[in-house]
Amino acid sequence: MHKVVDKNGQQIFLRDHVKYDGKADDMGLLSQQEGMIIASPSETKVEVQSLEGGPPEVIDSCDVVVTYSLVAKIAGLSTQEELQEMINNAEIRYDKAVADGKPARKKRSSSGNAAAKAKKETESLFD
Amino acid sequence: MQLLKQRKKLKVCLTRSTMEKKDDIFAGSAVPPKKIQRTNLFNGEFSPSGIEAAKCFRRFYYTKMLGLKAKTTPVAMIFGTCIHEAVEEFYKLTSAMEAHPSKKDRLDVKIAVVQKFAEAWQEAGVDGDIKRNLESGLMIMNNYVDKYIDDTSKFELENIESDQWVAMPNGTMMLVKMDRVLRENSMIVLVDTKTTSGGITPYFFRNFENHLPTTLYTYTVEQLLGKCDYVMIDAIKVPPPPSTSKSEPFGRGTFMRTDLQIQDAISTYCAVTDYIMSVIKHPESEWAERMYCDQSHCGDYGGCEFLDLCKHGLDHPTVRVNFDIKPPKKPENLL
């Protein structure tokens, strides 16, 4: 793997959160976007997935600024509290991701009950 | 604690540059870069996993004779490899520790192990998916350390992730890569770490009752150390079960290997390798036909990666698009 750095010379790692200028709108205005690094195809390019969604973009690494780096945080770990906080956050995000990725369990079909109810109602009409 | 000091040295390197750490780390450390040993069947060299792959000879032909390797490695496999590296680190550190480690030592080990995972994951250069990613790897290793930090097994460093060559009865050589071999109180135990996406249940462990590679590892340990009392499977569930799940994240199972099982494994090994060695004596144009496809394995592990080649032949564009070709070196006297 090659070393890739951001605008400030800070090394960029996978899953780092970054800020960068998005594409210009019809009026030519640039909006700042937040995204996550998903790949670094070369020493000067990074692939960013916008947190707002949409397809990932390949942009120059000198156009991004790292705002949060989990890898840098892991490398700097030194206390139990720091580690525990990191694990707790990871667990919350993991549980959420797993729950979001899982299709909601369908409720059991109530058609059988509905049919029985309808039959009962019909029968009651003739009583 | 020399090993922990070494880890700290690695940690400094990781902070400086993970992406180019390979050269950096090994430049100033006592840990030499591990040279990956590979087998070459044209020299009569085989491995237990290669024999396992030869359940379908055609698959063996593609991987070992033609040297086809998929350009993209599945995330699950990369994740499992990184977990393996972190587990190896854990045992290197704990084997050098006293029986009842202090709170500080426990924390140092835990940090070193999660950092090892992060290091391996960065080196692999993949983002992963929702279940197999950097954070889930940290969770697994954090929990693994919590569960096994008081395991009193002490492994000698040379018995962790060791590569051994063994001469086999039919004149071939077998390369065995063993996770750990425990020698304690006159007991010798072979420990193999296995990651699994399925549940760690009695059904999972039943797969290892007569598992060919594990039996060949046992044979190797017997050849090297005179005996192997039993095999222990150290199972890790990946991806980790969510906190609401009742699944076991880890589990261990032990198995005996009888003389009969070992004899059977050697017979299987010899039958398979004898056949392959006989095939390479024929002209190369006949290899594909002689290394026939066993269709009962096409669906293994979610579908064989070589299915398109069996369907359309080696001229199919899939070969260039999906595979790297690195043919093994053949001796000059081969037909």
| A123, B116, B254, B280, B329 from B52: Cα distances, Å | 67, 30, 21, 19, 22
Query: How close does chain B come to A26, measured CA to CA in Å?
Result: 33
Query: Which one of A14, A77, A101 has the shortest CB-CB distance to B111?
Result: A77
**CA end-to-end distance (rounded Å), chain B:** 56
Judge: B127–A39 Cβ closer than 8 Å, yes or no.
Answer: yes
d(CA A70, CA A2): 18
- Long-range residue pairs from B261-269, CB within 8 A, at least 24 positions apart, any chain: B261/B210, B261/B215, B262/B215, B262/B218, B262/B219, B262/B222, B264/B210, B264/B215, B265/B212, B265/B215, B265/B216, B265/B219, B266/B168, B266/B169, B266/B219, B268/B51, B268/B212, B269/B46, B269/B51, B269/B168, B269/B174, B269/B212, B269/B216
Query: Would you state the pLDDT for residue A105?
Result: 54
Give the closest residue to B176 by CA, choosing from B120, B235, B225, B238.
B225
Q: Judge whether residue A125 has pLDDT over 80.
A: no
Sign of the dihedral through C-alpha B218, B223, B229, B234: negative
B146 compared with A112, residue with greater pLDDT: B146
Query: With contacts defined as CB-CB under 8 Å, which chain B residues touch A40?
Result: 19, 125
Among B135, B143, B237, most A C-beta atoms within 10 A, so best to mutate, is: B135
Q: Which whole number is the average pLDDT over B229-236?
A: 95
Query: Would you state the pLDDT for residue B267?
Result: 97
| A110, B280, B284 from B330: Cα distances, Å | 68, 10, 11
Q: Which residues of B156-179 are buried (b: 16+ CB within 10 A; e: fewer)?
A: eeebbbeebebebeeebbbbbebb
pLDDT 10s digits, B266-322: 999 999 999 999 999 999 999 999 999 999 999 887 789 899 999 999 888 888 889
DSSP A31-72: -EEEEEEEE--SSSEEEEEETT-SS-EEEEGGGEEEEE-HHH
Q: Which whole number is the average pLDDT over A1-10?
A: 84
Q: CA-nearest residue of chain A to B130?
A: A97
Query: Would you state the pLDDT for residue A126?
Result: 63
Query: With contacts defined as CB-CB under 8 Å, which chain A residues touch B122?
Result: 1, 13-14, 71
Beta strand B173-184 pairing with B45-46: parallel
H or E element in which residue B179 lies: strand B173-184
Confidence label for B166 from pLDDT (cuts 50, 70 and 90) = very high
Compute, in degrees rounded to 10, the torsion defined by CA atoms A8, A13, A15, A16: -20
Confidence label for B24 from pLDDT (cuts 50, 70 and 90) = very low
Mean of pLDDT over chain B = 86
d(CA A83, CA B239): 20
pTM of the model as a whole: 0.79
d(CA B166, CA B180): 17
A113 compared with B118, residue with greater pLDDT: B118
Q: Judge whether residue B29 has pLDDT over 60.
A: no
pLDDT 10s digits, B42-70: 999 999 999 988 999 999 999 999 999 98
Given a contact cutoff of 8 angstroms between Cβ atoms, the answer to whether B203 and B253 are in contact is no
Confidence label for B1 from pLDDT (cuts 50, 70 and 90) = very low
Query: How close does chain A come to B306, measured CA to CA in Å?
Result: 27
d(CA A35, CA A53): 9
Residue numbers of B between 14 and 73 with CB closer than 8 Å to A: 14-15, 17-20
Q: 3-state class of B68 per DSSP? A: strand
- Asked if the ipTM is above 0.85, the reply is no
Q: Which whole number is the average pLDDT over A50-68?
A: 89
